[in-house]
């Protein structure tokens, strides 16, 4: 598999090598030793979640407080979705930078989301199912919710009609309010910098 940098340091796009014949195809969805070698951090799955959504459903932006912290390995197992990760680590040189990718089962691509980085997605088809492989089990009261439509982030969701959102996501604070309330994690040097010629940053 190929593990590529994104515009968010520590977040990676993973593209598997597919083996195709007359029966169909085969690919490795996750190799933790390869992921750990690239990220420099251990990744031991502790919980696997799925969610299924109608077309034009917007979920996110979500994260987990540190502690306990939580890294995610995200794939689309049915349908198609537009996935966005956004740097929410206070003090990061790319605070507010985002990376967007379209995920579907045919490509098998996955996104690795490190601790402190927010994640959300917009479904592009009905009956879209996303899979999260998580580095920690769910701890009630530790989820961070950020308004996915926050103009300070200006995330490029690309919807053409108002998306379907939960009441919780619609009422979530913007990134500046979340920072002021001490909800966001501090920047921790990953040792591996992502390179981008045009990082998208929070507007002043």
Catalytic residue positions, numbered:
62, 132
What is the DSSP pairing of strand 72-78 with strand 128-134?
Answer: antiparallel
- Report the C-alpha gap between 81 and 100 in whole angstroms: 10
Q: Is-contact 94 9, C-beta < 8 A?
A: yes
- Report the C-alpha gap between 104 and 102 in whole angstroms: 7
Q: Which DSSP symbol is given to 168? A: H
Residue whose entry in the numeric block shows the structure tokens 């379907």: 164
Sign of CA dihedral 183, 145, 162, 57: positive
Q: What is the CA radius of gyration of the chain?
A: 16
Q: What are the φ and ψ backbone dihedral angles of 144, each rounded to 5 degrees?
A: -105, 130
Task: Count CB neighbours of 51 within 10 A.
Answer: 13
């Amino acid at each position: 598999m190929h593990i590529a940098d994104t515009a968010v340091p520590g977040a990676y796009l993973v593209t598997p090598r597919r083996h195709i014949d007359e029966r169909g195809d085969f690919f490795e969805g996750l190799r933790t030793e390869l992921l750990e070698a690239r990220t420099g951090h251990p990744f031991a799955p502790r919980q696997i979640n799925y969610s299924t959504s109608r077309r034009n459903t917007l979920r996110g932006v979500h994260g987990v407080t540190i502690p306990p912290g939580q890294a995610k390995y995200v794939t689309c197992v049915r349908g198609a979705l537009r996935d966005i990760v956004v740097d929410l680590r206070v003090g990061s040189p790319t605070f507010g930078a985002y990376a967007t990718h379209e995920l579907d089962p045919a490509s098998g691509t996955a996104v690795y989301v490190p601790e402190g980085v927010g994640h959300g997605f917009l479904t592009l088809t009905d009956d879209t199912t996303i899979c999260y492989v998580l580095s920690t089990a769910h701890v009630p009261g530790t989820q961070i919710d950020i308004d996915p439509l926050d103009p300070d982030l200006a995330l490029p969701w690309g919807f053409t009609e108002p998306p379907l959102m939960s009441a919780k996501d619609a009422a979530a604070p913007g990134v500046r309010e979340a920072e002021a309330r001490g909800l966001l994690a501090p920047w921790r040097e990953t040792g591996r910098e992502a390179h981008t010629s045009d990082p998208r940053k929070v507007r002043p």
